[in-house]
Homo-oligomer: A and B are copies of this chain.
């Protein structure tokens, strides 16, 4: 769309900015902007300020590197969490996903990505040294590697394992296998093969 087709530069700017967001095309951006025009001024101000404050005021926990409103995040500073177990994840969203399962009461360590030579991301770009430091000083007994089950995830798992093996810590990875509710005939061969190799005692599988 050319400039001429917007009746207002203010509208055009808002459409331009909205459409820079992932998954938002110019049509959707226009719909969002026109919606805001029909709302009270306070609505637009609340949205605008929330967006600016989010980016300007956000902090990262100095222990686990998750986002936080405080120097140490609410998970790291929670008295009820098991500080001897640390789950290593790629990003903030993974922390939220695992928290949602309510199956984990330990702490986290957010790498900030995974090793991906294709994208130019090497070990030095990730929070790996700080993880090693935590293991050396914080009395951690188990590190759970909870990375994507992709080539990059596997590469990162191996790299981390090599770094952590000399230290006095148990290293585990999340279980890989058939998704709950899936029928075997639709599972891919690699997953099915792994799920047989990594079979568990029947009684343990319903823990």
Contact = CB atoms under 8 A, between A and B. Distances in A.
B36 A67 contact: no
A14 B68 contact: no
Given A35-B21, A92-B34, A96-B5, A52 B48 contact: yes
Contacts of A48: 47-52
A44 interface: yes
A8 interface: yes
Contacts of A47: 17-18, 20-21, 48, 51
A17 B96 contact: no
A63 B31 CA distance: 24
Q: How large is the interface on A (under 10, 10 to 19, 20 to 34, 35 or more residues)?
A: 35 or more
Majority secondary structure, A binding face: helix
A30 B69 CA distance: 17
A45 interface: yes
B73 A10 contact: no
Contacts of A58: 8, 10-11, 37
A75 interface: yes
Nearest to A28: B23
B67 A11 contact: yes
Interface in A96-124: 96, 99-100
A11 B23 CA distance: 19
A143 to B, nearest CB: 20
A113 to B, nearest CB: 10
Contacts of A34: 91-93
B55 A37 contact: yes
Nearest to A46: B17
12 contacts: A1-B100, A4-B99, A13-B53, A13-B54, A14-B51, A17-B50, A37-B58, A37-B67, A41-B55, A41-B56, A48-B52, A49-B52
Interface of A: 1, 4-11, 13-14, 16-18, 20-24, 28, 30-37, 39, 41, 43-58, 66-69, 73-75, 91-93, 95-96, 99-100
